[in-house]
């Protein structure tokens, strides 16, 4: 099971892009998001001492823009990696 998640800043409108999180639950955990953004090799959120994701541009709190269950087939997963 893979969940698509995107962190988005409501203060400045900056989105950090979508990551795929291997998750059993509908909502990915902070640890899973952190690992997913690190593994994606793209811009990562700034993590506060309380493990809250913060916007790297304005420092505002990031929100999980959308999340849904998504079964990703191997071909799709490769395509996403190539594109990023
Ligand atoms: Zn921001």
- Report CA(60)–ligand 1 centroid distance (Å): 5
Q: Answer whether 28's CB lies under 8 Å from 22's CB.
A: no
At 73, is the pLDDT very low, low, confident or very high (cuts 50, 70, 90)? low
Cα–Cα distance for residue pair 51/13, rounded to 1 Å: 21
Asked if the model's pLDDT at residue 8 lies above 70, the reply is yes
Tell me the pTM.
0.70
Asked if the model's pLDDT at residue 82 lies above 70, the reply is no
Which residues is 19 bridged to in the sheet? 5
Report the number of distinct structural domains present in the chain.
1
3 CA to centre of own chain: 10
Q: Answer whether 72's CB lies under 8 Å from 78's CB.
A: no
- Report CA(53)–ligand 1 centroid distance (Å): 11
Domain limits for position 60: 2-83
């Amino acid at each position: 099971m893979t969940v698509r998640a995107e962190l988005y800043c409501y203060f400045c409108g900056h989105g950090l892009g979508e990551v795929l999180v291997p998750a059993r639950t509908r909502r990915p955990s902070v640890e899973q998001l952190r690992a997913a953004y690190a593994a994606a090799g793209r811009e990562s959120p700034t993590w506060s001492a309380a493990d809250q994701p913060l916007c790297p541009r304005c420092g505002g709190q990031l929100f999980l823009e959308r999340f849904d269950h998504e079964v990703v087939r191997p071909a799709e997963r490769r395509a996403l990696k190539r594109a990023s």
